[in-house]
Amino acid sequence: MPGWFAFVLGLLLPLLFWLCHLQGWPFWQCGLLLLPLALPRRGGQGNGRGFSVLSLLPRPLKFLPGCLIALLGLAAIFWRSSLSLQFYPVLVNLMFLLLFALSLTQEQSLIERLARRFEPDLPESGARYTRRVTQAWCLFFIVNGAISLWSIHAGEKIWALYNGLIAYLLMGLMFIGEWLIRRRVRRRAQDATLAATSVFQETPHA
């Protein structure tokens, strides 16, 4: 199962609620869309090019996230209730939180691994910065997951509004904010390097 499928599904599932609501279709039938996530993932492993966050898990556990999500779909179909589908965003946030937090216990954080794909010679200051970014994403998944859990009790329309729109706007703001901070951090590092080089060049040699 390609990794982009889960991402697209996460984006579309809350939006499908509105389609079902407008057409008068039972939303629990969308549980069928979760079942393929239990299939083995293809590609992106062992070729050094397609990095996946699931690579942080031990091999026997790589299938676990997809199976848990598929169980939500089975529960929706079996009980003909959309309640289990509403737990999908909560489960996704929890899984990403565990994966990002797990990477903090390793030599390279998840964000550092991603950064080194574009900048193999990442300096030590960059590695420290990526660790802080990983910690920030952990906090984001905690808050976002908690709000997603609250939205289940707030009603289906509030759930669909938050998880289908607001959560993605917040994620976009997170990306933009991190990008702006990264530019400033990199500029400061470059300025410090230039200043150190200038001092070295102006120092008279014996």
Q: Does a structural domain hold residue 95?
A: yes
* Structural domain containing residue 159: 3-189
Q: Does a structural domain hold residue 205?
A: no
Q: How many domains does the chain have?
A: 1
pLDDT (tens digit, 9 = 90+) per residue, 110-137? 888 888 888 888 888 888 899 999 999 9
User: Does residue 196 surpass a pLDDT of 60?
Assistant: no
> Higher model confidence: residue 14 or residue 90?
90
pLDDT computed for residue 14 by the predictor = 85
Q: Does a structural domain hold residue 153?
A: yes
Q: Does a structural domain hold residue 196?
A: no
How much of the chain, in percent, has pLDDT values that exceed 70?
Answer: 77
Q: Does a structural domain hold residue 199?
A: no
Tokens 């590609």 sit on residue: 43
pLDDT computed for residue 204 by the predictor = 57
Q: Does a structural domain hold residue 61?
A: yes
User: Does residue 47 surpass a pLDDT of 90?
Assistant: no
Report the half-sphere exposure of 197 (CA within 13 A, side-chain side): 6
> Higher model confidence: residue 18 or residue 39?
18
Q: Does a structural domain hold residue 200?
A: no
Q: Does a structural domain hold residue 126?
A: yes
- Residue 55's pLDDT band, with cuts at 50, 70 and 90, is low
The pTM is what?
A: 0.82
User: Does residue 15 surpass a pLDDT of 60?
Assistant: yes
pLDDT computed for residue 46 by the predictor = 42
**What's the whole-number mean pLDDT along residues 139-145?**
96
